[in-house]
A = this chain, B = another copy of it.
Amino acid sequence: MSDEAKFISALRALGTHPGARGLADDAAVFEGLVFTHDMLAQGIHYLPTDPPQDVAWKLLAVNLSDLAAKGATPLAVLMGYCLSDDQEWDRQFVIGLKMGLDHFNVALLGGDTVRLPHAAPRVLGLTAIGRAGAVVPSRGGAQIGDGVFVTGTIGDAGLGLKVARGEADCPVLRDAYRRPMPQVAAGQVLAPLVSAMMDVSDGVLIDAQRMALASGIAIAIDLDAIPLSDAYRALGGENQAARLVAVTAGDDYQLLFTSSALPPNLNCAITRIGAVIAGHGVQLHDADGAIVLPHRLGWEH
């Protein structure tokens, strides 16, 4: 067990309130509201060269994605901000934050700022508050026989990171990395219809494994069924290797869910990528049969 896994395990022992969901879900449910708190650290969750307006967007988006995965309606946020030596960066961040707050119709309720020593990496924290719907799905309800689905396309942000690093050129993919779009509306429609739901933040395989563990079942994923965007196919290809890159890349912020029925038509694409079966963890196959799982299933914090 890694140090971080040990630490999180020790923390989880403290999350005894039922609304905390054992600190093992995307968000907590408390007083009719849904709460999440995610951080972005410079050089870990975003590149020092990413535009500050995009970093502000991402800070909002990754937290609203957790609310989306619970079908909640975003209401408000509180922010913890580390000031830099770069006033222009801070100024641009606020502009980006305002655009994000306006776009998602979310109120900035409060927060704190701290000035770190010179050259210390910036750490940004956000608590997002949403209104709970009638059902707040967890990761733990997947049932044998359910289909496994994702919204949108997979892997774009992973390739987009390479673009942002200057290793390739494709603005659409770069923006998928820098300005993810939380699936808020889809989450609200899906929440009452799913048996389990979470967002794909660390990679389809690792997140599916987490859902399988939480649900006490196995998830079998058909690699051929993974939805790839045209931009992904053009830059990254679509053979097995390319698809393995897509399902182990982080930052998709799509929704992963299980359901016994085919979900309704939504404003976003929905693709069936597999099935819930008896067993443990995640399994992978394509038309040619079983595929050995890659050593790294996704982004491990």
Report A's interface with B, CB cutoff 8 A: 3-4, 6-8, 10-11, 14-17, 19-20, 23, 27-28, 30-33, 35-39, 41, 43-45, 75-76, 78-83, 87, 90-91, 94, 97-98, 101, 107-117, 120-121, 123, 125, 127, 129, 301
| B110 with A36: CB separation less than 8 A | yes
Contacting residue for A116 out of B10, B33, B79, B123, CB 8 A: B123
Closest 5 CB pairs of A and B: A17-B107, A80-B125, A28-B109, A37-B78, A127-B127
| A117 with B121: CB separation less than 8 A | yes
| A114 with B20: CB separation less than 8 A | no
| B14 with A108: CB separation less than 8 A | yes
- Other contacts beyond A23-B108, A35-B129: 8, CB < 8 A: A7-B81, A10-B94, A11-B108, A19-B76, A20-B110, A30-B109, A30-B129, A120-B121
Provide the bound-state CA to CA distance between A3 and B7, in Å.
36
Give how many copies assemble into the complex. Answer: 2
- Which B residues are CB-close (under 8 A) to A121? 116-117, 120
Q: A7-B83, A87-B3 are in contact. Are A39 and B76 (CB under 8 A)?
A: no
| B37 with A112: CB separation less than 8 A | yes
Shortest Cβ distance from A76 into B: residue = B30
Q: A15-B110, A35-B109, A82-B123 are in contact. Are A4 and B115 (CB under 8 A)?
A: yes
| A107 with B35: CB separation less than 8 A | no
Contacting residue for A79 out of B4, B19, B37, B90, CB 8 A: B37
| A20 with B107: CB separation less than 8 A | yes
Contacting residue for A127 out of B33, B75, B78, B87, CB 8 A: B78
- Which B residues are CB-close (under 8 A) to A78? 28, 35-37, 127
21 A-B interface contacts by CB (under 8 A): A7-B81, A7-B87, A8-B113, A11-B108, A11-B113, A17-B109, A19-B109, A20-B107, A20-B110, A28-B78, A28-B109, A37-B78, A37-B125, A37-B127, A39-B80, A39-B114, A39-B125, A115-B301, A116-B121, A116-B123, A117-B121
Nearest Cβ on chain B to A79's Cβ, whole angstroms: 7
Nearest Cβ on chain B to A174's Cβ, whole angstroms: 23
Provide the bound-state CA to CA distance between A82 and B45, in Å.
13
